[in-house]
Structure 1
């Protein structure tokens, strides 16, 4: 999914898979479609696990699912596959992304169950249809007032409906701690820089309000009950297939683009080598490249 953003006076939210390495103010969403689709496709095993768990928490079935900040619809179609009795609404501000979602649904034979809805997010959450399952994957942290957004999403739940937020987890890893270039522990140092970037991003979001990331508490404060959290692992071992390798290269490229001037010159030089396709030790050629990360799903239910 893409990153959250501020454009034409409205903040748009889409699903994404990490922090940093991008311009979160004026992205070209159509140009980002390949990245958004590759992200969601590579992360499909994690989503499948999360949706299977959600399906098990809803013994009465699910009629309407709203994918909030759906982007190009990869996850919307996955939701339709995992909940075969449900109607899925892919909701997003961007017409180009919704058109892509509709194309995917038609290509996968899901056009009768996956529809699209253009809605300004997060400013028009009250325009979302009532849902038995409201899915918001790694988009809420791009909303200034997260507490108000959760309350608005909770208000769109049908009685007995579930709100599922994907926020937090573990940073991604793709190389051994010591991979033979520069000083060991590069990825941990990159994590620290991305945490600084994330804090700055949150502070710059319009109407940003500081809330402790107690997602269970925020869900119950919105009037929901039975909060639960579970973390799901994405474990793609070496050697990576070409699609996953492309994603890892892009993640490192975006990480390089966001490196502050204060970053150690040695680390920046190592990242440059990792991104150089001509370097025999680059990400393009390494056989030890993997992708390991985890996302946490937080849920709560509206009382029937």
Structure 2
């Protein structure tokens, strides 16, 4: 089976036309819509690099030169490359081995600033908060165990840290986005800003002092 994400490249920071497989995981009884690594060339191509405003994503997410960034679902590194060039450090949590191999090649010149963890964010546990910003770009809707993912993200973010959430409008409806935001506010986050356009839905939240650990 296949599905199509049709956010056309343009002045908005989005994918081109993408056809991805849907993998059925019967043991968990869910449909995990993950773009496979063999289609990763669509995520990083000259047109997208020219038309996508990666710097805008960085600033809109609250990332500074001093930030330690937790990037979830980095794929083959389209955003990782730009974030690592700008921020102090990037910790990437990526599920697919194939994407990780491509990501390592992509950021070879910035490897000293990038730590890669091959894992599902729902199974990624840290001993103490370390991240100033967590970026989820077009990936949270693909997470199977969302409650566990929210808990782990909250545990990785420092108090006062930013959660930057982007989702594709074609796959994530307004009500779904509100449910996602509510999951994080219930876990100790406060919504600071949000906006949408024909391609994307965006929300930036901040972890409060009493956030879930």
Question: Fold conserved (TM > 0.5)?
Answer: yes
Match of 2:152 in 1: 152
Q: Which 5+ residue runs of structure 2 have no aligned equivalent? A: 4-13, 25-33
What number of residue pairs does the alignment pair up?
185
Superposed, which structure 2 residues align to 1:70-149 within 5 Å? 70-83=74-87, 86-106=88-108, 109-119=109-119, 121-127=120-126, 130-149=130-149
1:295 maps to 2:200: yes
Shift of 1:138: 1.0
Match of 1:10 in 2: none
Distance between the aligned counterparts of 1:43 and 1:30, measured in 2? Answer: 22
Secondary structure at the counterpart of residue 204 of structure 2: strand
Secondary structure at the counterpart of residue 122 of structure 2: coil
The 1:149/1:78 distance shift into structure 2, 3 A limit, reads same
Match of 2:6 in 1: none
Contact kept? 1:130, 1:156, Cα under 8 Å: yes
Bigger RCO (CA 8 Å, 6+ sep): 1
Contact kept? 2:166, 2:202, Cα under 8 Å: yes
Q: Considering only CA atoms, is the larger Rg found in Structure 1 or Structure 2?
A: 1
Distance between the aligned counterparts of 1:218 and 1:39, measured in 2? Answer: 36
Q: Which 5+ residue runs of structure 1 have no aligned equivalent? A: 4-15, 172-194, 200-210, 234-292
Q: CA RMSD in A?
A: 3.5
Distance between the aligned counterparts of 2:156 and 2:76, measured in 1? Answer: 23
Structure 2 length as normaliser, TM-score?
A: 0.69
1:51 maps to 2:58: yes
Shift of 1:21: 4.3
Shift of 1:28: 8.3
Match of 2:186 in 1: 221
